[in-house]
Structure 1
């Protein structure tokens, strides 16, 4: 079973994403911010990371840059999931190593489509 790390400071967003991804047969890990996500990844890289942008402690972009520099950090597929929808943010995320981008609010159809596009479904 593939693992997905959900990184979001909103408990509600993590709960909604968990419900959708468990239905899609993912094993779920969670973190509230980029630092917590880094701790999870250093213990064992997940297959997929659903990543929020705006979080306390360490934001999504800083986490992504650090992840891609760490050992095995190029392995996980990273899908940004955020309210930041201008092209500058999207370009910045992709150049930092994001594989795909989802806008909030999202639903099962959006997650299924994006996860299929990046080859994890």
Structure 2
């Protein structure tokens, strides 16, 4: 086996209630097959943890009342998209808008995008 090469990618992390995980995954994959490095549909999900928040005045929260501390089960879903290739930002934006925002149950989903490198043989 030869050494590992680094490939620039966007790593997208989103937290979602377990009951909505499969619908969110289907929504993302309907927009993009997440093809990269000879594979498609590559995703990683964690065991449920907990997400907490307190809605501030003026917020129309899906769960809980204004001022109430809410703690809900949540799954961490991650996937990568190639970065540094033509159209990469437009591809990322489509996944964020049409895949995540359109299929996530929260008004303000917790979504994080990191620019990093992925090592492959």
Give TM-score scaled by structure 2 length.
0.24
Name the structure where strand makes up a greater proportion of residues.
2
Name the structure where helix makes up a greater proportion of residues.
1
Bigger relative contact order, structure 1 or 2 (CA pairs below 8 A, ≥6 apart): 2
Give TM-score scaled by structure 1 length.
0.24
- Larger Cα-atom Rg: 2
